[in-house]
Structure 1
């Protein structure tokens, strides 16, 4: 994800990478960008927004840096502990934040459609089927669970099924069914670049916003 972010950001005129942090040295960086060791984030130059796709054990440092410098944080780090989630919630009282398991703009729209359908179709069965490549270990996927939460917010009780096959990037089907009819809402990802592209989109639009915890869907325009 980090390599995709750097590659796609270099093609945008409205973004400039000033630094990239990782455990291992990076040599191929956009012009003018610096590599920073992940354990030396205090050495980072001034920046307007940070994008974090790391691991739970590396999450605390970028969050603390953003709070200290009063700059927005976009993060897709999953597996956070309850304490880390609470820290992110506290941070949102002083800086703008976005956390998402999936930064696809299409999935953000799908979530809104799922909640609307659940509210309108009270009593219908709700099933979520997600398909991914054979190497994905968690099931259901984080995106499926997030879609399920939106269905629950609309009053539905979602059930889950997971498929692992081939090199499927990601597919999520949300089905509402009752006697004589059913509705299917589907999102298919064919490139992993959509997640990096979505994170860059969100980062650009988060800059300049007041403090708060935002969703990807809040930043589509």
Structure 2
């Protein structure tokens, strides 16, 4: 009895053409580079392109502005008023430095009367008090200094000016000493007459009062 020829195992892996030629390996059928695989990918990509909606232009998207037109107008109005007030304050200080205290008083008064809602208007009140003291209205000047020394507590210039006026005009040396102590603790320069004359541009009458206080004369 002759030996039975057993076909190679490769013949049982996949259906093969006649004569049991070498079968096509499974990995070849799954090769992404095969024409059928490429066709499937192309068809799928084309389908996705058709199904996806066209891109929307960014210019067509609605925009959200958190600031309303009324708020924008109000902000512009405040900015304009701040600019005007600062300009008047700087002009008053410029005239004060030039020794023109009557005109300086006018500018400081405009800031105080028209822009009192701004916190920095208190600095215009200090300038106004110094100018009032020089032009002869010392009682109003001292009242202004006393008021501003509360709203601007810790601002050395107003405490030093008030000390000089209280000593020379109110004859209140203890109150003057208290105010001057506050001023010099914050800024020791106010013990120097040259400083208040050349740097702070105090009026001559107030410089004289400060000199009397420092020398206790």
Normalised by the length of structure 2, the TM-score is 0.26
Name which structure has the greater RCO, CA cutoff 8 Å, separation 6+: 1
Mark the structure with the bigger radius of gyration: 2
Q: Which has the higher helix share?
A: 2
Q: Which has the higher strand share?
A: 1
Normalised by the length of structure 1, the TM-score is 0.26
